[in-house]
Amino acid sequence: MTHALVTHQFQLPTLSAGSAEAYISSVNRIPVLSAEEEHELAVRLRDQGDLDAARQLVLAHLRFVVYVARGYSGYGLPLSDLVQEGNIGL
């Protein structure tokens, strides 16, 4: 695996102020990975440093970030802030 600086910009859905529902709709269109697909991508990332595999893994887990963020939405923070923090953690 290389430690070179990555300058490639991934095409991730963006979350801007006031557009949480549009972002969630966009994230929900990303296909869910099967366990086998997820394992294959993780192995490609680990063994070959495949950045496309990393991108696919991150995109596939954005839906989980939204799910977890919704669980914390009753604590006084906007859903968009919770999702952004979850995406940083991802």
**33, 44 contact by CB (below 8 A):** no
pLDDT tens digit string along 36-86?
A: 999 999 999 999 999 999 999 999 999 999 999 999 988 999 999 999 999
Contacts of 73 (CB under 8 A, 6+ apart): 79, 82
> Rounded distance, CA 27 to CA 89, Å?
17
> Where are the domains positioned within the chain?
20-89
Which whole number is the average pLDDT over 20-42? 92
pLDDT at residue 7, rounded to an integer = 38
